[in-house]
Structure 1
Amino acid sequence: MISNFFVLLGAVNVKFKVMEDLRNTPEKHPCPSKMKLICLTLLIISGITYSRSEQYDVVGPVDPVLAVPGEDVILPCSVKPNTSVVDMRVEWFRQDLKDSLVHLYEDHEDRNTDQIESYRGRTKLNHQELQRGNASLKLSSLRISDEGSYKCFIQSKSWYDEATVDVYVEDKSFNPWRTSVILSSIAVALIVIAGMLIAAFVHKNREHDELQNEKRRNEQEYDALQGENSAIQEECSQLKKGIIQIQEECKELLQNENRSVKQELWMEISKIQEEHNKLQKEKRNIQKECDQLKNEKWDLQKEHIRKRNAQKEIDEGNIFCSLQ
């Protein structure tokens, strides 16, 4: 973020310088008045593009560097993407010391006049690897005092970045005090572990006793449930027998009811049959009466016709007599 701020600040400075030149020499400037804004924009874009083309990331190791006193160790540091750092400033320094300079490379040479006294003659940069973006520092004859946090700082004309390298030195020399401290720490750790194991064992025993008691309670409950189950099964068998008896009684009742119903139906049918026969007789009698009435009606009609004809003959005779 800081590097981006400086890049933008440089671009703004370029913009103001160009604007000042345009104001001071308006007639002699090669860009026409209408093209001033376009020329100014192109200059700013070219400056920003040039600055961004030099951006890079300084990368260090993810894990700390472990080493033994007296050995040579390499503190890794490189530039991504791979870019030559020959023309850049490469500085290694300690974060935890007041006089922090460990190694300085600037203007194509090592400049270690302000280097920490304990590092003199023990630091080296491979100048050939600088062309490939590798700024790793070789530290010879490692000492216990070399343990700490290191910074790899790489700066160009328009950009800079840094990475952290942690160094841990393992002291393998015999130290009675340190050995006693380690042994006492181990003893305390063993005592704590033993106490934890004993507490865990006691806890497990309590849990085991509780589980055993719970198991006995469960067995008693299981026996009681088994007794209840057997009693329920006996009741179920008795209920089944009762249901079978009820079903048989129902069948008998149904059969008896069917018989009585059949008898009643036969009686009703016989009654209906008798009534039907009576109705048939009455119908025949009514039919006979109807036939008699029809015959009487027919006789009456004949008598009426005969009387009408006789009357007609009488009338005709009277008319004839009156005419004579």
Structure 2
Amino acid sequence: MNPYTLPHLGLLLSENFEVISSPTVTGIVGQDVVLPCQISTGTQPANMEVQWKKIIQAAIETVHEYRANPGQDVPGQKYQGRTALLKDGFTSGNVSLKLKNVQSADEGMYSCIVKSNEWSADAATELKIAVPSGC
């Protein structure tokens, strides 16, 4: 019997997913902004890892990292106390990041990277910064 029968193939593909985000988000200085990121399967992959990175010219800066095993949820060094993953949406595949007290230096390109045991995918979002009127 062929080991790649349809049910077996279905198991192989079950870990595959896409990561979807908005191409652009606008944040207002001093306020919170959500950088959207959604897993296409609409469920949380096994042993999920989520990494948010900021892409700065030739360098990459860690904004926030989450690992289901061993249960780590750590902001990047420059983002202490300013980031939070919206974990209430994990079961539906929502791995969006809240960035608190937005600063003009936060403007730039962010990448949401989601990894599981068998698969990895990413999406990018550009954060544009607006200064509130009257400033």
Scaled by the length of structure 1, what TM-score is found? 0.37
Structure 2 matches for 1:1-324, cutoff 5 A? 38=1, 41-42=2-3, 44-45=4-5, 48-62=9-23, 64-85=24-45, 87-96=47-56, 98-106=59-67, 107=69, 108-112=71-75, 115-117=76-78, 119-172=79-132
Unaligned runs of 5+ in 1: 1-37, 176-324
Number of residue pairs aligned between Structure 1 and Structure 2 = 131
Unaligned runs of 5+ in 2: none
2-side partners of 1:146 and 1:53: how far apart?
Answer: 36
Q: Aligned in 2, Cα 1:86/1:69: closer, same or farther, shift over 3 Å?
A: farther
- The structure with the larger Rg is 1
Aligned to 1:281: none
Give 1:47 shift: 5.6
Give 1:172 shift: 4.7
2-side partners of 1:60 and 1:124: how far apart?
Answer: 17
> Following superposition, which runs of at least 4 residues in structure 1 exceed 6 angstroms of deviation?
none
2-side partners of 1:127 and 1:54: how far apart?
Answer: 20
Give 1:109 shift: 2.9
More helix by share: 1
Larger RCO (CA within 8 A; separation ≥ 6): 2
Check the 8 A contact 2:15/2:45 in 1, yes or no: no
2-side partners of 1:86 and 1:131: how far apart?
Answer: 11
1-side partners of 2:81 and 2:95: how far apart?
Answer: 18
**CA offsets, 1:11-54, max 9 Å, x none?**
xxxxxxxxxxxxxxxxxxxxxxxxxxx3xx32x55664322111
**CA offsets, 1:57-116, max 9 Å, x none?**
110014x1112110000001001121124730100001126351000000233034xx23
Identity among equivalent positions (%) equals 29
